[in-house]
Amino acid sequence: MFKLFSALIFTGSLLTSCSSESGIDPIDPNPASQTIENINKGILNGTLTKDDGKITLTSNSYQLTGSFIVEDGAEITIPAGTTITADAKGVDVYFAVLKGGKVNINGTNNNPVLMTSTNAAPGDWGGLTLCGKATTTAGVDAEAEVGGFKYGGDDDTDSSGSITNLVIKGTGAQISTESQYNGISFYAVGSGTTVENIAVFDGADDGVEFFGGSVSIKNLYLENLQDDAIDWTEGWSGTVENSYIYLTEPGFSTVVEADKDNANPKLINLTAKSIVGGTALQFKKLSGATITNLYLDGFDKNIDMVDNGPLANVIIDGQAADESKDYNEGSEVEITSWNFINGQTVPVEELVGELTGNKTLSSGITYNLTGSYIVKSGAKLTIEKGTNIIADAKGTDVYLAVLKGGQIDIQGTADEPVIMSSGNAKPGDWGGLTICGDAKTTAGNDAEAEVGGFIYGGQNDTDNSGSIKYLVIKGTGAQISTESQYNGVSLYAVGSGTVLENIAVINGADDGIEFFGGTVSAKNIYLENNQDDAVDWTEGWSGTITNTYVKHTIEGFSTAVEADKDNANPKLINFTAISTTGGIALQFKKQSGATFTNLYLEGYSTNVDMKDDGPLGNVIIDGEAATTTNPYNTGTQVDISTWSWFGSGN
């Protein structure tokens, strides 16, 4: 009796010790492996083997802290509403199901399963990889580029489980210069696998990629993937039915990239939209597909047979693909009932027309500038820090203008600047920012601007058109005529009450910043590879620029400074201009001039050019009249090491 009583006490204490302090019900009171013990603690890390059998997660939340691998013979079920948060450790963190293993993700339309990192930033983790036994042109037991896992066989009806209502964010960790993890990678996955209602957001590589196999997907939403949205190779032969791709951030590759042999996969009801241009459908080598009900909107190129493969391999709505077609007559995929993505799609608001009141643009929304957006007299446009405005690449038809009496308030910060750019940031894509004020100009009162025919100029030198802080502009300079173009920032008779600080203009087809009279001053200006002048002024501008950095690394620009007409003696304090392609640094036309303090020039063929033989005495550099022989390379360069706000331009 004593022995029996002692045994009962021991057993009771053992059962008590297996209770979970984390509140997660243990899957097994006598764990078979360290992996199971981790799961009981809310951690996914390790290898689930066939000895562990079939398990079902029982909590709403788990932390993926490393690789979690489901081996041959093991099976894991993930109930609806489960959130798996991956550590942002790149390639060291991923979820993989190997040949013979199974995963059952049982989300519902209203309660999906979520796999994400904390910040859902592209490249944070490695995503979901499935390896199956279906056929692939890579052969049997091929080695995957991710994890070195084995995949491929001869069972096209193989099942790796069932995945329904799954949302994945922040994947695409970089393995090497040639390979990355995708949102979901399907390696020779068979048609017995169910995949429905899948969304992949914000990945640094592809959304879904098929390496051979015969698996199909129904209802696929892909948003802002930095490489391809849908990618396949090695003879994938499945079907994607009802796919919706949305691209609002520059830098992606294609909507569809197909490579190698053509097993004629099918895409039924494919809708793809972009506000950043790019290529829609790209086919390499002999690849192809049959596409039914295609709708494309906003791409620079719709069909790209990159290796000159036959267009007949790509059948779109019953006919061979045509590189000249717009493919915008199909019916858009209806996603209003896809509750598994509701509230998670990036909101995009169109900017076009006239603003007659007050409006605030917020960082939580991406804005698409599709035409002219004009802030009228008495109106005010406020743009919060971190706001991104994507301009359609439609040349002179797309610009932002603030008229006399209107105001703009750009509230960027060093960490979260406001960005205005076309999708590809190509010079000449759009018209840039124009501000018209009521200050004096030699053009007179109510002069007419060369851009837009806007009216500018008056007698109020302290006029206030607003405040611009931490603004980055790219891809401007659309051509109006043979004599005039839009600039990055055009300032028409803008008054000294206007604040301009920390502004970058990069890759413009005309000037970076141009002053048409006025008294406005600026501070901390970065100008890179503007194809005409970096800083241009005329009509008696009399303001000051403090801390200017000009960078020229491409052929074809005009000057670092071009000054024209009357000399109102503007001041440039701490001016650095560096060229790797020669050219003219400072050019003065007619009677124009300026006073420079702390000038540093490097790499120019000509430093000072008095184009119309105006007096050198009008140009004062560090206290003395300019000379055409001085190299002006002894000043102190403007230190831009802390100017992180203009990003890739640095």
Q: Which of 275, 270, 281, 280 is nearest to 332 (CA)?
A: 270
pLDDT at 26: 56
* pLDDT over 90 (residue 155): yes
CA–CA gap between residue 418 and residue 413 (Å, rounded) = 8
* 17 pLDDT above the threshold of 60: no
Give the model's pLDDT for residue 12: 41
Question: Percentage of the chain surpassing pLDDT 90?
Answer: 87
pLDDT of residue 175: 87
CA 513, 432, 458: angle at the middle one, nearest 5?
65
CB 409 within 8 Å of CB 501: no
Which amino acid, residue 226?
Q
> CA 104 → CA 83, 141, 150, distances in Å?
14, 23, 21
H or E stretch at 561? strand 559-563
Residue 164 has pLDDT above 70, yes or no: yes
Token pair belonging to 501: 């600080």
Q: Which two tokens stand for residue 111?
A: 């309660």
Q: How confident is the model at residue 609 (pLDDT cuts 50, 70, 90)?
A: very high
Kindly give the residue spans of alpha helices, DSSP state H, lying in 245-315: none
Structure confidence at residue 218 (pLDDT): 98
Strands 418-422 and 466-474: parallel
- Going from N- to C-terminal start, the domains of the chain cover 44-341, 348-542, 570-642
pLDDT for residue 24: 54
CATH number of 44-341: 2.160.20.10
Q: Which residue has the higher pLDDT, 16 or 475?
A: 475
At 216-230, the pLDDT tens digits run 999 999 999 999 999
Residue 552 backbone dihedrals phi, psi, to 5 degrees: -125, 115
Phi and psi dihedrals of 616, rounded to 5? -60, -25
Strands (E), 475-552: 489-492, 499-506, 513-516, 522-528, 533-538, 544-552
Tens-place pLDDT, residues 197-214 = 999 999 999 999 999 999
Average pLDDT, rounded, for the chain = 93
- The upper half-sphere exposure of residue 148, i.e. CA atoms within 13 Å in the direction of its Cβ, equals 0
Closest CA to 469 of 521, 548, 412, 525: 412
Per-residue pLDDT, 25: 54
Residue 450's pLDDT band, with cuts at 50, 70 and 90, is confident
Distance CA 358, CA 71 (A): 59
pLDDT at 254 over 90: yes
540-586 confidence digits (pLDDT tens): 999 999 999 999 999 888 899 999 999 999 999 999 999 999 999 99
Please write the tens of the pLDDT for every residue from 319-328: 999 999 999 9
Q: For residue 32, give both structure tokens.
A: 């078979």
pLDDT per position as a tens digit, 168-195: 999 999 988 778 899 999 999 999 999 9
In DSSP terms, 222 is beta-bridged to 200, 245
